[in-house]
Structure formats: structure tokens, C-alpha cells
Amino acid sequence: MKKLILSVTLTSSIACSSYAMEVAPFQTGYLYDFAADVDGGGDISKHFFHISGGVPLYSDDETLVALTASYQLHSYNFTGGTPGSFVGISPWDNIHTTNVGAFLSWKFADNWKLFAIPNIRSSGESGAKFGDSISGGALLGASYKFSDTLTMGPGVGYIGQLEDSASIFPILVVDWQFCENLSLTTGPIVGASLGPGISVKWKIKEDLRFTFGGRSERLRFRLDDSITNGKQGIGEDNSITVFGVLTWQATDNIQTSLIAGVGLANDVLLDNSEGNRITREDYDPSPFIGINLGYSF
């Protein structure tokens, strides 16, 4: 079961964990971002729903192959803007993101593992053309298990961006249990995540854990044709989130998590259908709360 847990959650981040289970192979959850003031007038708030799961196709002592899938809904509310301002034009509302991927892991030597995580993603507003909302990416890397409490390794990520240059970035796999009840990881976090991050996990007791961390979030998506003169432009929402997660392992199969945090360094932008900038605005720190449910088969 632990291999299945890793295979499912690695679609959006990297981990090679030997620590206690933090996420389940089936997850669903909801977050609410409270209203934050936008430069230029008005405010922005968000509802976020996600569901994800995975299926192992092949597994033995050295090799794991699994399929993964997820769906995310970002529902935006723009209110109070003056005519012509970013908020005033209410540039988008419901953004649908679907991700289909795979996780491949191969233990090729003692303590060494290679992993590959290809995926295809569609991200677009209701009414956007599906074929114009598709991008792809992959994460590749290796990890070395130095001991029962420390796993590290290098990697590289490639993420295609709609009407923009692809993001290529280095990855550092870290899973370090530096004392009996504390560990540091760059691995997956309860709830859906959109970018790389790092966190500290505190095992309060056998069925209760607290996680504190930070993560970079970038959501870029295709719009319908209601804003950019009949052509389907691009929207983007960026932030750096700082969060805390309290996870209760209710049974061997079920876990419940309460999530709270704040988005920092926030901005939203609007590009035309060729990816050229139309407008961009910063917005204030945005606190959020939510709940996540996980089920292990």
C-alpha cells in the first residue's frame, strides 16, 4: 500500500518517503480563500475543490508503474471593481483543471531509485476550447537512501505553459526524519498542490500529525472568448502559500485534515491569445481554510 500512496501523490510534487503516511491514494477536499483587495480597486475571493486518485498497474520489489488522475475546480469571485479595472472586467469565473499522468519507479541498485512522472494537463475556463487548454510536463530524478531516516537525490522538472515558455527547474528530493517525531520533506502535502514546496511534519501521536510548510503556486489557464475580442486569451494566478495542516488518521483507511494558511506575493494577470500581456495586478495576502478527506484501499 505504501507504494500506491507514493505513486498517486507524486503527480504534482516529488517524494521518496520512508516516513509515516501523510496522504492517501484517494483524496477530495475544499478550500476557501477569503476576499483580498486587488490593486486598482475591488477584491478577489476563491472557492477550490479537488479530487484525485490512482491505480497501480505493476508492482514488485524493484519496479512500480501506476496511473494517476485528478480534477480541480477554482471558482473565482471578482467584486467591487471600477469600470475598466482588472476586477471591474471580471476576467474569468470557473477554471477546470484535469490532470492524467503516470508514476514510474525503478530500484536499479542498492539504495538507489530512478523515477519518472509524465503527465498531460488541461486547464481552462468554462467555455474554453479543450484542445487549446492542453499542456504537458514531466519530472525525472533519482534518490539515494542514506539511512532509514534520510533519503535525498537530484532531479529536473519540465512543465509546459499555455502561450508561454516552458518552466524548467531543478528538483531536490529530501525526506529527512531528523528526530523521533519530526521530519523535513519536499514531498506531497495533504490537499492538492500546484507547485514545488517544503514542509516540516510533526507526528504528535500515532494517529495525529501536524504539517507546516510553504509552496509556490502557479495556475495558468485558457479563457473563453468573452473578454479578449472573441479570441480565447490566457489567465494566470500566482502566489506563495504558507500553510498548516492537522491530520487525524481516523481508521487504517480514512484520514481527515484541517487546513489553514495564507497566500503571499499574490498576482493575477491577463494575456491575449498569443500570450502577450494585457494587464497584471497584485493583490493583498489572502487567508484560506479548508478540509481534506483521504481514503486508502
The number of folded domains in the chain is 1
pLDDT in tens, 121-152: 999 999 999 999 999 999 999 999 999 999 99
pLDDT of amino acid 2: 33
Q: The pTM is what?
A: 0.88
pLDDT of amino acid 228: 63
For the residues 80-102, what does the mean pLDDT come to?
94
Enclosing domain of residue 205: 2-295
pLDDT of amino acid 5: 33
Hey, how many other C-beta atoms are within 10 angstroms of the C-beta on 165?
Answer: 8
pLDDT of amino acid 259: 95
For the residues 14-40, what does the mean pLDDT come to?
71
Of the pLDDT bands very low, low, confident and very high (cuts 50, 70, 90), residue 25 is: confident
The CATH number given to whatever domain includes residue 202 is 2.40.230
